Structure 1
Amino acid sequence: MSTATAWSDDHFIAGDVALDFANTVYRRTPEIGADLLDSAGSLTAWLHHAKLLPAPNDARDRFDAPQTALREAHRIREHFWEIFQAQKDGRELPADALAGLLDTARRGIGSDVAVGPDGSTTPLTAQGALTVLSLHGIRLALSPSSQPVRACDRCGWFFIDASRGRRRRWCSMKTCGNQAKAARYRSARP
Structure 2
Amino acid sequence: MSTTAPWNDDHFIAGDLALDFANTVYRRTPDLGRDLLDSTDALAGWLDHAGLLSSVDLDDSTLDEARELRGLLWRILDEQKDGRALPTEALAGLFGVARHHLDGGVAVAADGSATPLTAKGACSALAIQGIRLALSPHARPVRTCDRCGWFFLDTSRGRRRRWCSMQTCGNQAKAARYRSTHP
114-123 or 18-27, which moves further after superposition? 114-123
CA distance in 2, matches of 1:31, 1:140: 26
Aligned to 1:111, the other structure's residue is in SS state helix
* 1:157-168 → structure 2 map (5 Å cutoff): 157-168=150-161
SS at match of 1:110: helix
Shift of 1:108: 1.1
Secondary structure, in 3 states, of the residue corresponding to 1:97?
A: helix
Q: Give the secondary-structure state (helix, strand or coil) at the position aligned to 2:78.
A: helix
Q: Does 1:140 align with 2:133?
A: yes
Paired position in structure 2 for 1:27: 27
Q: Which residue of 101, 125, 130 maps to 1:108? A: 101
Q: CA deviation at 1:169?
A: 0.2
Amino acid at match of 1:112: G
Q: What SS is found at the alignment partner of 2:104?
A: coil
3-state SS in 1 of match to 2:24: coil
User: Which residue in the other structure is 1:74 paired with?
Assistant: 67
Name 1:89's counterpart in structure 2: 82
User: Cα offset for 1:132?
Assistant: 0.2
What is the percent sequence identity of the aligned residues?
A: 64
Compute the displacement of 1:107 (Å). 1.4
Conserved in 1, the CA contact under 8 Å of 2:114 and 2:129? no
Counterpart AA for 1:115: V
Distance 2:108 2:27 in 1: 34
Cα distance in structure 2, aligned partners of 1:171 and 1:117: 32
Aligned to 1:14: 14
Task: Give RMSD over aligned pairs.
Answer: 1.0
Taking structure 2 as the reference length, the TM-score comes to 0.97
Aligned equivalents of 1:74, 1:121: Cα separation in 2? 19
What is the CA-CA distance between 1:124 and the residue it aligns to?
1.2
Question: With structure 1 as the length reference, what TM-score do the two structures score?
Answer: 0.93
Q: How many correspondences in the alignment?
A: 183
* Structure 2 gap segments, 5+ residues each: none
How many angstroms apart in 2 are the aligned matches of 1:125 and 1:27?
Answer: 29
Q: Any gaps of 5 or more consecutive residues in structure 1?
A: none
One-letter code of the match for 1:22?
A: A
